[in-house]
Amino acid sequence: MPIEPQFETDADGNIITNPVTGWTSACFAGMTVVLAIHYAPTPQALESGENKSIQFALTPQVALELAERLTKLGKHLLEQPSPTTPPN
């Protein structure tokens, strides 16, 4: 049975996150999708506009799977009631 990947956590067990500030994507050599995700490594960097990037090479199949999963998660969150909206 495959092991499910875990999220990276800090010493307190909190999931480590970095706000995404943008991305760049392109086709490379007619067979790979190159994806650069730009992010702020600290809250101070977010305020000052400092960015870092990480680049990925994806097969077309992986790019489509990633796009589908992100679309599903985004739609799920948008369909949820807002925490500030009072119940009916």
Predicted pLDDT at 87: 59
Collapsing DSSP to helix, strand or coil, 21 comes out as: strand
- With a pLDDT cut of 90, the percent of the chain lying above it is 76
Given a cut of 80, whether residue 10 has pLDDT beyond it is yes
**Amino acid (1-letter code) at residue 44:** Q
Collapsing DSSP to helix, strand or coil, 74 comes out as: helix
What is the per-residue pLDDT across 53-67, written as a single tens digit (0 to 9) for each? 999 999 999 999 999
Q: Which of 49, 57, 2 is nearest to 22 (CA)?
A: 49
- The verdict on pTM exceeding 0.85 is no
